[in-house]
Amino acid sequence: MPKESKEQMNDVRRKMKLCKDCKYYRKDWFSHLMGMGHRHDTCASPNTSTNLVTGNENRFCDMLRAKCWESLDYSCGPDGKFWEAK
């Protein structure tokens, strides 16, 4: 891979809004240590919290970033609408 394309890829990665780099990201360490991955990690953003169905304070990151839910007011969407750096 040419040097320019590697540098471009690194720039793209730095600009991506990943949940793990957001100040509202909350890792579910129990699930992680039990080998269940990241699907139970939550978002504590004031724009996404308070689930009106369950009353929970946080919602799952996977759901909030999914393309199929981006039309909802509280969804961050694939673009990371409510993302903020740590």
Task: Break the chain down into helix, strand, coil percent, rounded to 5.
Answer: 35, 10, 55
Q: How confident is the model at residue 85 (pLDDT cuts 50, 70, 90)?
A: very high
Query: What residues does each domain of the chain span?
Result: 3-69
Q: pLDDT tens across 4-47, in order? A: 676 766 666 667 889 999 999 999 888 878 877 788 898 888 88
Q: pLDDT tens across 47-56, in order? A: 876 666 666 6
**DSSP H/E element including 25:** strand 25-26
Instruction: Quote the pTM value.
Output: 0.68
